[in-house]
Structure formats: structure tokens, C-alpha cells
Amino acid sequence: MGTYRDLVAPPDPLRSILRALSVVSCAALLVAVIAQRQILWSQIALWAQPAPQPAQPVRNAHRQVAVKPEILAREKAIVLAQKAPWRELFHVIEVASAKDVALLELHPSIASASFELVGEARNAKAMLTYVDRLNAQPDVELAQLSYQQTTEQDKVESIFFKLRVRLSVGRK
């Protein structure tokens, strides 16, 4: 029960507003705590879920499904690329490397187990020595010059060239 002053005197409007605000803020705090608890429990439930199971085998797998030709061509190219003799290709390039020759591009042709090298040599002798080093590799069936062009820049001559290299491994 209140004091005599509370019973006789009229209520203070500021005190009533403060009481109302404190009740509202307590209610808001309670709602926030409940919401946080629900979020926490939903996260715990999500973590506790078992790992997804692998897909079940397809029933009626004997049915034929029409597949677009471009999709089949892409899949065939991917499978072919996985079977390519990448290790041999890079081994050949590494073993034949020379300080007077810079390789600029590599264009593999997976279907024919060959590749085209684009490079630049300091002089004709360095370029021809590089071709000979490629041909000396046991995994190389043939390395031949397909293009060359002599350029001069700042009074320094260099030879731009293209080589076609066919590997003896990975051929059909």
C-alpha cells in the first residue's frame, strides 16, 4: 500500500510516464531474449541434422533420355581432356627448356596428342637447338618448325617462331 501522500495527492504525470516506459522496455527486452533463444535453438537444430545422404540410384535406368548433341560434345571433350598425356607434355617442355628461348604460348590438341608452341629465340641457332632438343625426347614423335619471323627491336634481333610437336604417347 502507498503512503498517505500517494493516497491524498494527485499522481505525478512524469512518474506515470516513467513507470509506463519501464514496463514497455522490460517487455521489449523479454521479447528480444525470447527471439534470440529461438534463433539459437534453430541453429543448434540445424547443426544437429545428419549429413545429407548420397542420391539414391535411379530406378528405371534402362530408359533412354534424349541429350542435346552439344552437351554430349562437351562431355566427350572433358573426358578426352582428362585422358590427355599432360605429364608427358610438360615433361617434354621442361627437359627441352633453354635460356635463349622463351615460350609464349602453348596450344594443345588433345585428340591428336600434339601441341603447338609459340616462342621467341635470341637467334636462329638457339631456335634450331631447341627444336633438336625437342626431337631428342623419347616421348616426342616429331617436332617441326611451322613458322618463323625475324624481328629487330632496339637494335636487338630475335626470332619469333611456332613449332608443331606430336607426342608418341597418348595417341589412339
Where exactly are the structural domains of the chain?
A: 4-47, 84-167
Report residue 62 CA to chain centroid gap: 35
Pick the CATH number of 84-167 from 1.10.150.120, 3.30.1360.100, 3.20.20.70, 3.90.870.40: 3.30.1360.100
Cα(58)–Cα(69) distance, integer angstroms: 23
Task: Give the tens place of pLDDT for each residue, 91-149.
Answer: 888 888 888 999 899 888 877 778 899 999 999 999 999 999 999 988 889 899 999 99
Indicate yes or no: pTM above 0.75. no
